[in-house]
């Protein structure tokens, strides 16, 4: 069983994917980390993010084992990820790795932007997890304050909201594998849901597909 979970920034898809994978004992891949990994290396080495050729070469040599989720969750890295993710050759370089992960015997859970549309169009269950931009910004803001990256101020909240809106626009407008709802995906709006409620709702969607 392949479970594809897509959605915009800070929609909670990563948390849900982790929980669903644990529930079924399936391997989980947070595909955002791949783009974050490429973006991070570009920043660390001082390459301009719009250099498609270098970004694609880095993507080609990316090793999942080297991706440090904690280090890649910064605001700057998310922004860089969204820039390099718009480069077609970068997406192409990361395609096989994701398809191999999805095709493991027994199945897998993947979360990202294009899992149900491009990476695993035949996935048995597809969820599109979303929430209002204000709620998503609030969640990301609390995460970044807890990490010590931002101060607990209204100005910093507004900066996160602006980041999220800019990133959604970039992810939705790009030509290659834009963020969109797969025709056969079920939309889960978590604006009014806590983590447990969202998990129960997500599980019910997957179970209905399994039945
Ligand atoms: O955690 P958050 O939702 O903020 O971001 P993420 O899932 O780690 O993804 C970071 C960026 O990578 C996104 O803004 C997308 O531009 C890109 N991405 C993508 O293009 N395709 C994917 N399957 C996953 C992420």
- For the stretch 24-45, pLDDT in tens is 999 999 999 999 999 999 999 9
Q: Name the token pair of 44.
A: 């660390």
Distances in Å between the Cα of 85 and the Cα atoms of 82, 92, 153 are: 5, 10, 30
Q: Name the token pair of 4.
A: 């594809």
Percent of the chain with pLDDT over 70: 100
Q: What is the pTM of this model?
A: 0.95
For residue 211, the CA-to-ligand 1 centroid distance in Å is: 30
Answer yes or no: is the C-beta of 82 below 6 A from any ligand 1 atom. Answer: yes
Beta strands 28-30; 125-130: pairing state: unpaired
- Atom 21 of ligand 1, nearest CA residue: 113
Q: At residue 211, does pLDDT exceed 90?
A: no
* Mean pLDDT, the chain, whole residue set: 96
Contact call for residues 25 and 108 (beta carbons, < 8 A)? no
Q: Quickly state the pLDDT bin for 96 (edges 50, 70, 90).
A: very high
- For the stretch 127-177, pLDDT in tens is 999 999 999 999 999 999 999 999 999 999 999 999 999 999 999 999 999
- For the stretch 189-201, pLDDT in tens is 999 999 999 999 9
Answer yes or no: is the C-beta of 118 below 6 A from any ligand 1 atom. Answer: no
């Amino acid at each position: 069983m392949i479970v594809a979970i897509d959605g915009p920034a800070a929609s909670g898809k990563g948390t849900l994917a982790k929980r669903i994978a644990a529930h079924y004992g399936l391997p989980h891949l947070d595909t955002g980390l791949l783009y974050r990994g490429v973006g991070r290396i570009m920043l660390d080495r001082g390459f301009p993010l719009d250099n498609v050729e270098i970004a694609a070469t880095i993507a080609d040599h990316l090793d999942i084992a080297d991706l440090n989720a904690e280090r890649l969750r910064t605001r700057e890295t998310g922004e860089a990820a969204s820039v390099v993710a718009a480069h077609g050759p970068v997406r192409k370089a990361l395609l096989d790795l994701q398809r191999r992960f999805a095709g493991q015997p027994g199945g897998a859970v993947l979360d990202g932007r294009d899992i149900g549309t491009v990476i695993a169009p035949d996935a048995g269950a597809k969820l599109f997890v979303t929430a209002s931009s204000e709620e998503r910004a609030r969640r990301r803001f609390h995460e970044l304050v807890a990490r010590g990256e931002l101060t607990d101020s209204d100005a910093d909240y507004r900066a996160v909201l602006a980041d999220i809106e800019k990133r959604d626009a970039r992810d939705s407008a790009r030509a290659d594998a834009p963020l969109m709802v797969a025709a056969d995906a079920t939309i889960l709006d978590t604006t009014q849901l806590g983590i447990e409620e969202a998990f129960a709702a997500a599980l019910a969607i997957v179970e209905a597909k399994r039945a």
